[in-house]
A and B are shown apart, each in its own frame.
Chain A
Amino acid sequence: MEVLLLLGLPAAGALALGFLGARRSAPELNVAFSLGTFLAACALTVRVIDHGDQLLAHEQFFVDPFNVFLVALTAFVGLTTSLFSRPYMRVELAHGRVTARRLRLYHAMYQLFMLTMLTALTTNNMGLLWVAMEAATLSTVLLVTLYRTPASLEAGWKYFILCGVGIAQALFGTILLYFAAERVLGAEGVTALLWTHLNAVKSQLEPSVLALAFVFLLVGYGTKVGLAPLHNWLPDAHAEGPTPISAVLSGLLLNVAIYAVVRCKILVEGSLHSPLPARMLMGFGLLSVVVGALLLWRQRDIKRLFAYSSVEHMGIVAFAFGMSGPVATFAALLHMTVHSLTKSAIFFTVGHAAQKAGSQLMENIRGLVTLSPTIGWGLMLGALAILGLPPFGVFASEFLILTTAMREQPWATPILLAALGIAFAAIFGRVQPMVFGETTARRLPHPPALLPVFAHLAIVLVLGLYVPPYLADWYRAAARLIGGL
Chain B
Amino acid sequence: MTHLPWDLQLLNTCAALLLLLSFAMLSQRRIVTLVDLLAIQGGLLAVATLLLAWRTGQPHLYLSALLTVALKVAFLPWLLHRLIHRLEVYWDTEPLLNISGTLLAGVVIVVFAFGLAQPITQLANTTMRSAIGIAIAVVLLAFLMMITRRKAMSQVIGFLSMENGLFFGAMSATYGMPMVIELGVALDVLVAVLVLGVFFFQIREQFDSLDLHHLESLKESE
Taking a contact as CB atoms under 8 Å apart, the answer to whether A164 and B192 are in contact is yes
Q: Encode contact with A along B156-174: 1 for CB under 8 Å, 0 otherwise.
A: 0001001100100110011
Q: Which of A151-196 contact B (CB under 8 A)?
A: 151, 153-158, 160-161, 164-165, 168, 171-172, 174-176, 178-179, 182-183, 187, 189-190, 192-193
Residues of chain B lying within 8 A (CB to CB) of residue A145: 199, 202
Q: Which of B182-222 contact A (CB under 8 A)?
A: 184-185, 187-188, 191-192, 195-196, 198-199, 202-203, 205-207, 212, 214-218, 220-222
**Bound state CA distance, A153 and B201, in angstroms?**
11
Interface, chain B (partner A; CB < 8 A)? 60, 116, 119-120, 123-125, 139, 143, 146, 152, 155, 159, 162-163, 166, 169-170, 173-175, 177-181, 184-185, 187-188, 191-192, 195-196, 198-199, 202-203, 205-207, 212, 214-218, 220-222
Taking a contact as CB atoms under 8 Å apart, the answer to whether B202 and A148 are in contact is yes
Residues of chain B lying within 8 A (CB to CB) of residue A407: none
Known: A236-B218, A298-B221. A150 touches B206 (CB 8 A): yes
Taking a contact as CB atoms under 8 Å apart, the answer to whether B177 and A127 are in contact is yes
A209 lies within 8 A of chain B by Cβ: yes
5 contacts between A and B (CB under 8 A): A142-B198, A151-B217, A160-B195, A165-B162, A192-B178
Q: How far is the CB of B38 from chain A (nearest CB, A)?
A: 16
**Bound state CA distance, A192 and B180, in angstroms?**
12
Besides A153-B215, A165-B146, 16 new A-B residue pairs in contact (Cβ under 8 A), listed by A number: A127-B178, A135-B188, A135-B191, A138-B188, A141-B199, A153-B203, A154-B216, A155-B218, A158-B218, A168-B162, A168-B163, A179-B123, A182-B174, A209-B119, A209-B120, A300-B222
A212 lies within 8 A of chain B by Cβ: yes
Residues of chain B lying within 8 A (CB to CB) of residue A156: 199
Q: How far is the CB of B213 from chain A (nearest CB, A)?
A: 11
Residues of chain A lying within 8 A (CB to CB) of residue B179: 189
Among A135, A172, A193, A301, contact of B178 (Cβ-Cβ < 8 Å): A193
Among B169, B199, B207, contact of A150 (Cβ-Cβ < 8 Å): B207
**Bound state CA distance, A130 and B166, in angstroms?**
14
Closest to A187 in B: B175
A481 lies within 8 A of chain B by Cβ: no
The secondary structure that dominates the B interface is: helix
Residues of chain A lying within 8 A (CB to CB) of residue B181: 125, 127-128, 130-131, 193
Among A179, A236, A298, A300, which residue has the most Cβ atoms of chain B within 10 A?
A179
Q: How far is the CB of A423 from chain B (nearest CB, A)?
A: 17
Residues of chain B lying within 8 A (CB to CB) of residue A175: 166, 169-170, 173-174, 177
A208 lies within 8 A of chain B by Cβ: yes
A206 lies within 8 A of chain B by Cβ: yes
**Bound state CA distance, A173 and B112, in angstroms?**
18
Known: A131-B181, A154-B215. A179 touches B175 (CB 8 A): no
Closest to B188 in A: A134
A295 lies within 8 A of chain B by Cβ: yes
Closest to A189 in B: B178
Residues of chain A lying within 8 A (CB to CB) of residue B212: 157
**Bound state CA distance, A130 and B185, in angstroms?**
8
Taking a contact as CB atoms under 8 Å apart, the answer to whether A206 and B155 are in contact is no
Among B60, B120, B152, B195, contact of A138 (Cβ-Cβ < 8 Å): B195
Q: How far is the CB of A247 from chain B (nearest CB, A)?
A: 20
Taking a contact as CB atoms under 8 Å apart, the answer to whether A125 and B180 are in contact is yes
Known: A125-B180, A190-B180. A157 touches B203 (CB 8 A): yes
Q: How far is the CB of A205 from chain B (nearest CB, A)?
A: 11
Q: How far is the CB of B36 from chain A (nearest CB, A)?
A: 23
CB-CB nearest 6 A-B residue pairs: A127-B181, A131-B184, A154-B215, A189-B178, A134-B188, A175-B170
Q: How far is the CB of B79 from chain A (nearest CB, A)?
A: 16
The secondary structure that dominates the A interface is: helix
Q: How far is the CB of A456 from chain B (nearest CB, A)?
A: 29
**Bound state CA distance, A190 and B143, in angstroms?**
30
Interface range on chain A (Cβ under 8 Å from partner): 35 or more
Taking a contact as CB atoms under 8 Å apart, the answer to whether B166 and A151 are in contact is no
**Bound state CA distance, A134 and B196, in angstroms?**
14
Q: How far is the CB of B201 from chain A (nearest CB, A)?
A: 10
Q: Which of A76-124 contact B (CB under 8 A)?
A: none
Closest to A192 in B: B178
Taking a contact as CB atoms under 8 Å apart, the answer to whether A128 and B192 are in contact is no
**Bound state CA distance, A131 and B205, in angstroms?**
31
Q: How far is the CB of B56 from chain A (nearest CB, A)?
A: 10
Q: How far is the CB of B98 from chain A (nearest CB, A)?
A: 22
Taking a contact as CB atoms under 8 Å apart, the answer to whether B143 and A165 are in contact is yes
Residues of chain A lying within 8 A (CB to CB) of residue B119: 208-209, 212
**Bound state CA distance, A453 and B215, in angstroms?**
34
**Bound state CA distance, A295 and B178, in angstroms?**
43
**Bound state CA distance, A138 and B60, in angstroms?**
27
Closest to A148 in B: B202
Residues of chain B lying within 8 A (CB to CB) of residue A193: 177-178, 181
Residues of chain B lying within 8 A (CB to CB) of residue A161: 146, 155, 159
**Bound state CA distance, A350 and B98, in angstroms?**
46
Among A164, A168, A172, A179, contact of B174 (Cβ-Cβ < 8 Å): A179
Taking a contact as CB atoms under 8 Å apart, the answer to whether A189 and B60 are in contact is yes
Taking a contact as CB atoms under 8 Å apart, the answer to whether B215 and A157 are in contact is yes
**Bound state CA distance, A236 and B215, in angstroms?**
12
Among B166, B178, B199, which residue has the most Cβ atoms of chain A within 10 A?
B178
Q: Encode contact with B along A210-231: 1 for CB under 8 Å, 0 otherwise.
A: 0010000000000000000000
**Bound state CA distance, A156 and B173, in angstroms?**
34
Residues of chain B lying within 8 A (CB to CB) of residue A127: 177-178, 180-181, 184
Q: How far is the CB of A480 from chain B (nearest CB, A)?
A: 30
Taking a contact as CB atoms under 8 Å apart, the answer to whether A148 and B206 are in contact is yes
**Bound state CA distance, A363 and B181, in angstroms?**
49
Taking a contact as CB atoms under 8 Å apart, the answer to whether A160 and B196 are in contact is yes
**Bound state CA distance, A366 and B222, in angstroms?**
21
Residues of chain A lying within 8 A (CB to CB) of residue B222: 300-301
Taking a contact as CB atoms under 8 Å apart, the answer to whether A142 and B206 are in contact is no
Taking a contact as CB atoms under 8 Å apart, the answer to whether A190 and B173 are in contact is no
